[in-house]
Structure 1
């Protein structure tokens, strides 16, 4: 009994020593903890030198939105043929040159669009023992302002000017068989056309557009007295004798196509129908088609054709075609 009591006393003593040591350790660790400060530092006590102001530079980019786009082409086409004096298959020495200039400006902002297109062509051909004659002569300037009210339809107003640079002649032969000029049939602003049109434009993509000009006015001018019809004579280009201007009110259809068929092949076409409300059953028609194949960056081959039906000029269809090799500079490249 004494032995058991003694052992229990030893166990309790060891246990109390362990608990006391543990409690003392916790008390010492608690005293070592750092308490957060509760004192609020007055802002006035902060030294000004401890705060440095940093200026971050903001770059001036100078970016501006340019709503204009420009395209320019100019070049020279040439054809040449020569034969020896004993060439039995027939032929005549000839040379032709044609210069061209084309510029298009486009301004697009929101739903408004303005397009100005200038197309200038002039060329001559010289055959042996013959007078030099024109094979190209055209001034065409088209301006269009439109407001798009859907993705494909717009209201438009356009102003177009058409004429030529040089005089056009009729040719004949004298008593010795030499070629001579017998008459002057056209010149600058004889005829000249100004057309104002208002209506709807359908444009499904950038390469095609169709204008329906329900309100179209055209003025035909003959400002060369050699061509203007005299009193008592016949009408010339629809202008009555003794006058130099003719006014028409008509319905007009204008279709434009400018599409790349492949990387180096471009097709450009313009069709125009002008139906005078006084005689809408006999409209004027004109189709211009140009196919351009790019051989190198500068050298190209061009095939062009024109079909015209205008009963004021001739009761039959007029046509011309040409094939030329030349150099063409395009900007932007």
Structure 2
């Protein structure tokens, strides 16, 4: 099954690459800085009073802040993206629980040589803000926290941009998984007696970014990341983020957020997170 995911992801990338080569005439490039900072607040609430059919009061909120700072010049492109997401939900008298928590920053420098492919260097860091728990009838157990784990990836290789809305790159990558109190869950090597709080891997990384306006008020953004430490198909880490946003009015938007994540060192099964959100959007830049 994991092999099918990997091959399927490569097939999607290949299909995009071949079809986008036929994209019609490109516009003249506009050099300089492009800056964007957008915040979105999503809230849902249900309140029941003397509701004989039964049910629970619910309240949930999620705050997303997305930043994009790109400098494009004739000889280079420097692209920086940042994401901060945090949300909680409460059902009935139960204590509020975290529903989403993510810190992410990525910086990619690409040198333009006028070839089909260009050399690049990239850095990425991912973590979370607050402590995370798993819940059961016996109570809750902490399983993560700020910088616990944190993922750092440094890479260099070749990138190409077959169309204005897709960028792909492939290169050698160095990945560090850093922990503090939850090393056994994320970084420790069970084959050794010592508990390692940092796990370092060297491998190959493929990243494809998509940003396509599907309609006047609808935008699709996606990122497909594949990392292999060259120990076999089972050792391929997969992260596939998909975000479909439709603007209802100038400040009201509907968002479908879907993520597929697989890291055998964390779980032998794939992980999926999906959310359908309606909220207020404000552009700071």
Query: If the length of structure 1 is used for normalisation, what is the TM-score?
Result: 0.72
> Is 1:134 matched with 2:98?
yes
Q: Is the contact between residue 220 and residue 239 of structure 1 (CA under 8 Å) also seen in structure 2?
A: no
Partner of 2:43: 78
The CA distance in 2 between the partners of 1:323 and 1:273, in whole Å, is 25
Q: CA deviation at 1:153?
A: 2.2
Distance 1:287 1:128 in 2: 33
1:170 shift after superposition: 1.6
Aligned partner (choices 174, 183, 206) of residue 164 of structure 2: 206
Deviation at 1:206, TM superposition (A): 2.3
Matched ranges for 1:110-189 at <5 A: 110-150=74-114, 152-173=116-137, 180-181=139-140, 183-189=141-147
The match for 2:32 is 67
Q: Structure 1: which 5+ residue stretches go unaligned?
A: 1-64, 175-179, 230-235
CA distance in 2, matches of 1:310, 1:86: 44
* 1:48-79 CA distance string (max 9 Å, x none): xxxxxxxxxxxxxxxxx982221111121111
1:72-113 C-alpha deviation (Å, 9 max, x unpaired): 11121111223344342x532211111111111111222211
Structure 2: stretches of 5+ with no match in the other structure: 1-29
Determine the structure 2 residue equivalent to 1:12: none
**Structure showing greater Rg:** 1
Matched-pair contact (CA < 8 Å) for 2:80–2:105: yes
User: Matches of 1:87 and 1:260 in 2, distance apart?
Assistant: 46
The secondary structure found in structure 1 opposite 2:239 is strand
What is the CA–CA distance in structure 2 between the aligned matches of 1:317 and 1:94, rounded to whole Å? 29
C-alpha separation between the residues in 2 aligned to 1:310 and 1:250? Answer: 14
Q: Determine which of 262, 267, 278 is the counterpart of 1:309.
A: 262
Which stretches of structure 1, 4 residues or longer, exceed 6 Å deviation after superposition?
none
CA deviation profile, 1:240-273 (whole Å, cap 9, x unmatched): 2511101000111111111110010011111111
- Number of residue pairs the alignment of both structures matches: 252
Question: Match of 2:188?
Answer: 239
Separation of aligned partners in 1, 2:248 and 2:115: 36
SS in 1 for 2:241: strand
Residue from 264, 271, 282 that aligns with 1:318: 271
Alignment partner of 1:202: what SS? strand
Q: What value does the CA root-mean-square deviation take over the aligned residues?
A: 1.8
Correspondent of 1:105 among 50, 69, 78: 69
The whole-number CA distance in structure 1 between the counterparts of 2:132 and 2:103 is 14
- Matched with 1:26 is none
Aligned positions of 1:29-40 closer than 5 A: none
Say yes or no: does 1:222 pair with 2:173: no
TM-score (ref. length: structure 2): 0.83
